[in-house]
Amino acid sequence: MDSPSDDDSTGPRLAFELERIIFEEAARSCFQDVPTLMLTAWRVKHWVEPFLYRVVLSTKRKHETSSYVPFNILLQKIKMTSENVDIVGLSVRYIFTESRGQDVDDLVTALLICPRLVDLYILGLLGDANPALLPGLMTLHNLQRLTIDLKSVFVNQDIDFKSPVFHHLTHLELLGCDSDDYPEALAGLDAVPHLTHIAFNLVEKSAIVHDLIRGYTRLRCIIFMDIGQSNIRPHSADDRFVALRQTQFVDDWLRGATTGEDYWSLAERFIAAKRAGTVECSHYSITADEFSWQS
C-alpha cells in the first residue's frame, strides 16, 4: 500500500475523480472484494472502506447473502476509537436487528452514532416495552424506511405520528398489528408528511384498517402481509391494496439493501401492471417468491 500522501506515482494515471468512481463501483458490485481493494492505496481505502459498514445485520435465521457486517462487529468498531466512530457510524445506511431485552441498549448506542441511517428493521420487540428506543429513533433525521412494533416503543401513550421519528419516512411496516385497538392507534397516520408506502404484518382486521386509511391520498402502496390468513381482503376497490405472502423476509430485506429489489418494489410493479391492464383489476394477492402474474 502506498503512503497516506499517495505522492509516489510518477507515470500516467487516471484522474482521482474517475479512479474513485471505478473503485466505488467495484466495491458496490462485489462486497467480498472490499478488504482486498483497501490494500491498493490509502486513497482507495478511504473511498471503499465505508462499503464494509453500509449494511448491518443481526439475526440467527438462515439467509443467502453475506454482503453485510454483523451487528456485534459494528459495536466493536464504534467502541474502539473516535476515528472508527466517524468512519463506521457515518457509513451505515441499513440495519436489521432482532432486538431482545439486553440488546436494546446496544441498539440505542448504534442508532446514536449512525445519523445517515435510511432503513431500520427491528424484529423481536413484540410484547416487550422498550421506551428507551424512542430517543434513539428521534436522532435519525435521514430515516426513510422503518419496520417496527410501534406500540412497544410508545409505551402507555398514543402513537404520536407527528414525532420526529416519522418526519422523513416514506415506507413504514408495522409489526404486531393483531391487537383490537390497532385500528384506533392508526387514526393519526395521515400526519406522517412523506409516507407513500405502508405495510401491516399480522393484522386480523384488514378490512377495518383498510377502510381507515384508504382515504389517505398520499399513500401509493398499501400492503397486508398474508401468512395464510383467509380474512385478508380489501374493503373496497383500491388498486393500491396488495395482499403479499412472503417467506424469506431476511433475504428480501438484504436484497433491498444491496440491490433495491425487495417486496416494496415487487408490489409497485404489481400495482403498475394492474393499472396498465396486464393484470385483472380484481387480482390483489401475490407471493413474493413467484412472478406468474407478470407478463
Helices 263-276/249-259 angle, 10° precision: 80
Please check the confidence at residue 289 and state whether its pLDDT lies above 90.
no
pTM over 0.75: yes
Pairing relationship of beta strands 241-245 and 221-225 according to DSSP bridges? parallel
- How much of the chain exceeds pLDDT 90, in percent? 30
- Residues of the chain with pLDDT > 70, as a percent, come to 82
pLDDT at 145: 98
Q: Mean per-residue pLDDT for 205-218?
A: 86
**pLDDT tens for residues 133-183?**
899 999 999 999 999 988 888 887 888 999 999 999 999 999 876 666 666
Query: Do 153 and 133 meet the contact criterion of CB atoms below 8 Å apart?
Result: yes
Higher pLDDT, 49 or 286: 286
pLDDT at 41: 82
Domain ranges in the chain are 19-52, 54-169, 179-188+195-295
Per-residue confidence at 16, pLDDT binned at 50, 70, 90? confident
Q: Mind giving me the DSSP string for 10-70?
A: -S----HHHHHHHHHHHHHH-GGGHHHHTTS-HHHHHHHGGGGGSEEEE-SS--S---SEE
Report which listed range, 30-39, 64-73, 206-215, 259-268, is most confident.
259-268
